Structure 1
Amino acid sequence: MKAKLLICALALLCSACSEPSPTESTPSAAVVLVQVRQGDLPRMVRAYGTAEPALDDSLDMSLPFEGHVAHWAVTPGSAVKRGQLLLRFVLSPAAQSTWQQAGSALELAREQRDSTQKLLGQQLATREQLAQADKALKDAQATFDALPHPQGPNVDVTSPFDGRVASIDTSTGANVAPGTRLLSLVQSSGLIVRAGAERADADRLQAGESVELTPLDGGATQPGQLLRVSQALNASTRLVDIDIRPEHPPMAGESFRADIHAGDWHGWLVPRDAVLGEGPDRHVFQVEHGKAHEVIVAVIGENGDTSAIKGPIQADLPVVTTGAAQLDDGMLVRALPRADTP
């Protein structure tokens, strides 16, 4: 009897030794963990645009003469100083004749008025004739004053302020009518970046918000400030025009990417790769006692590699980043060191 009991005990002991431990039989996944935290995530709006004159800081220059440009002293994009020569304009013979005729008519009206005044003193003219002479002189003076007064056939056009040449709108030697735009200037402080924002994004923008401007052809990012948000869609682009003042003057026509800080999202901040699934199935995995637990969340905003989420997150439990895609709810995990951990 004792021998049978001993044999049974040995059999049970061997059986126990041959069974694998729960840890050996249950697979585990290697993952990287990060601690969650609550905070604010900048809400950025991205737009693209080019540097051009502000609506109230540009000047179209023209002359009230018929004639042509004989010489250009500047080119598009040239920096100019107040009083600097821009162009030399030559009046057409007809324009010179019109001015000369107006001057001759004024001189004749003045002589006739003086003569009538003398004749009135000699009782050889009436007061009505003097009144008519006075009116003729005033009309001639008004006509003369309405005309430009060039100093000869050549007119030197100079810049009225420090700035840049935005455009040249006629060629050397081409005959132009009075009032035709010859060139456009913009004041040194007058260049802004005009960009286009999507309709939904524009609703979140307000003047005064900070902007980061990055040149598309390379170069350093510079800060700026949002000046204006249009209240209508641009008919050509179907976007909302926004004006941005750069901290440093750009070159006319330079293209930029604008990243505008349009408020913040507040929530749990986690790496973007920690969030899995789509729509209502978005979720993260938090780890407790070596096991992964699925937590349903909603993504309220994303910026770069970070997501702002809301849901029943436990602040004291880490979330899984690398390796999260291979997990199931309740699966055993083993933590690996993060790549940025020394």
Structure 2
Amino acid sequence: MKRATIYSIAKECGVSASTVSRAFSRPEVVNPDVRELIHAKAQELGYRPNRAARGLASGRTGTIGLLVHDITNPFCPPLVRAVQRAADEAEVSVLLVDAHESSAAELRLIKQLKGQVDGLVIASPRSSSALSGAAEGLPTVVVNRRMRGFPSVVCDNTTALLETGRHLEELGHRKVALMCGPSTSWAARQRAATVRAWAQGTRVTLVELGSFTASFEGGREAARALLGAGATAAFAFDDLMACGVMGGLVEAGVEVPGGCSVVGCDDVLLARAVTPQLTTITAPVDQLGRAAVDALGRRIAGEHVRDVRLEGTLTLRGSTGRPA
């Protein structure tokens, strides 16, 4: 059986070879019905477009960028894997870059990526107003932050955080600490605002501590502040900080959850590796990555893309209990 080509597909579909080529290189300019017919016939005949040739014809690289704020943060590797899986299905490559928690590095890297990638996914960016200028002309989707001018894919933890607050109140906690995350983090600000809203109108006194870095050492620092606060439970910004809090409390002779309950956020692998296992809010990371790649693909094709909101869910484990 002869290898399928754009010419054999064109003959089967009754269209020109250039139309078949455009259906793969510039699908947005081909009538949707015709495009669907061409793609179906290509699949039937086992045709796979040559990426290099397609890139030369379309001016595209077949590569998307993924910019993360800190690759050592346990939330990032699962997101990278989710983006990679979705990109594989879309037959594009992923170029991963790490900003090392630096706003200046983010802006520099975005500018460097222009011309190397067809579009960019930025996870939890720390820079704000300057981002629009840096990414101008480069299709971009933002994950875990809402920013004007960019479509976003976010995990909305509002409902889960409110449920967590009710859980702590029902356990009998009346003084709860909020361990604030990095001041440059949009997610940290959103989570803190939700916890404050929950505390209002309850019998709970909320004590705010920090901000602290989103790291294990940041959690240990938070634990030292927590020891003098008189709180019997604590919301940590994320799981990595929460594990640092737990470690610091245990070193100081405070049992978890007997002496203090601790709640994290994201449900990274570390949350299940510590003892006791961490009560946390589970983020749908696979869905976040898939939605980000899908949104970016549509942006590259010139389509209007709406923001995507996915919900986190409360996962109860051993780090929360009744106060002693």
TM exceeds 0.5? no
Q: TM-score, normalised by structure 2?
A: 0.17
Q: TM-score, normalised by structure 1?
A: 0.16
Q: Which has the higher contact order (CA 8 A, sep 6+)?
A: 1
Q: Which structure has the larger Rg over C-alpha atoms? A: 1
Query: When you count helix as a share of all residues, which structure comes out higher?
Result: 2
